[in-house]
Copies of this chain bind each other. A is one copy, B any other.
């Protein structure tokens, strides 16, 4: 026991202070507060009391440096103020916090360069795992991420890569449900206001859209596929352009509920059925009705967290993380 220390101590309480106060060694204090089995119950109690009295808060930065684990995860995605992503982040953070993990959030604004910096920032912060909704503008950030040996799970978007872990909704089925719903109501010219083609979910939803037509022996007119930026206002302009060009449509499938609602707002006068995605109205109670295709958003998020936790645990125990897990969650059509 040689905690020879300067009498007074300026800053915050450290293990050393608690050690001095109790007469135990720093290591014993550390083990006691971590509830390790090799400390007697009486000692643990004494130390815990002293720590509480001194207002000790463990410095997890120092702990991380030594142990190599930070109990922090990073969530990297386009824009968390988008309700759809916001719900994910909320669920991820809550779930992680309950398991003793902190959550670092980074918005990429769908910018690949920002995404790259975000990944580097997360790695530098020594996060134990990353949940990423990739921009998918190219796969070079994916390559970067794979080159670093940090567990990560993709959410909402995926690559054709058997090594990856991801959790996505069944977007093919989703597109099929959305288009099928409208086709079965007699619509024959369904405008698809889709997301950018580099995003897997956009491609897959269009695939489902085509499938729904094919299943009913109907042809797909490619003129009805339009790509819309996700920024607000983009949709209104696109719809107005379509109207001006005189392309005739009797229904709309939109890439998100936000776009769907914007479409409804733009088409206010003419009552065209619109189907969106993500069911963001499910949690609220609004004076609008909207049909929407969605998975259980919370399930997607918590599934991603679970898988990431498994991978992080495996890594810590130096066991293999096992086979990649690729989860495709079922979607439903909601009428609100």
Contacts and interface: CB of A to CB of B under 8 A. Distances in A.
Interface of A: 12, 55, 57-62, 64-65, 70, 72, 79-81, 83, 86-87, 89-90, 93-94, 97, 102-107, 109, 114, 118, 120-121, 123-126, 147-148, 232-233, 235-236, 258, 261-262, 264-266, 268, 283-288
Complex A-B, nearest 8 residue pairs according to Cβ-Cβ distance, in ascending order: A81-B90, A264-B287, A265-B287, A262-B285, A86-B86, A60-B124, A81-B86, A61-B126
B258 A60 contact: no
Contacts of A90: 79-81, 107
Contact of A265 (B64, B120, B286): B286
A57 B123 contact: yes
Contact of A86 (B83, B109, B126, B233): B83
Contact of A55 (B102, B124, B147): B147
A83 B120 CA distance: 28
A320 B218 CA distance: 73
Given A81-B83, A86-B80, A12 B148 contact: yes
A59 B287 contact: no
A220 to B, nearest CB: 28
Given A61-B64, A61-B70, A125-B72, A233 B285 contact: yes
A264 B80 CA distance: 27
A81 B282 CA distance: 13
Given A60-B126, A232-B283, 8 more contacts: A61-B64, A61-B126, A79-B90, A81-B90, A90-B107, A103-B105, A261-B287, A288-B288
A319 to B, nearest CB: 17
A80 B83 contact: no
Contacts of A109: 94
25 contacts: A55-B147, A57-B123, A57-B148, A58-B124, A59-B126, A60-B126, A61-B64, A65-B65, A72-B104, A72-B125, A81-B90, A83-B86, A90-B107, A93-B106, A94-B107, A97-B107, A102-B125, A103-B106, A104-B104, A232-B283, A232-B285, A262-B284, A264-B286, A265-B285, A268-B287
A114 to B, nearest CB: 8
Contacts of A83: 81, 83, 86
Contacts of A287: 261, 264-265, 268, 288
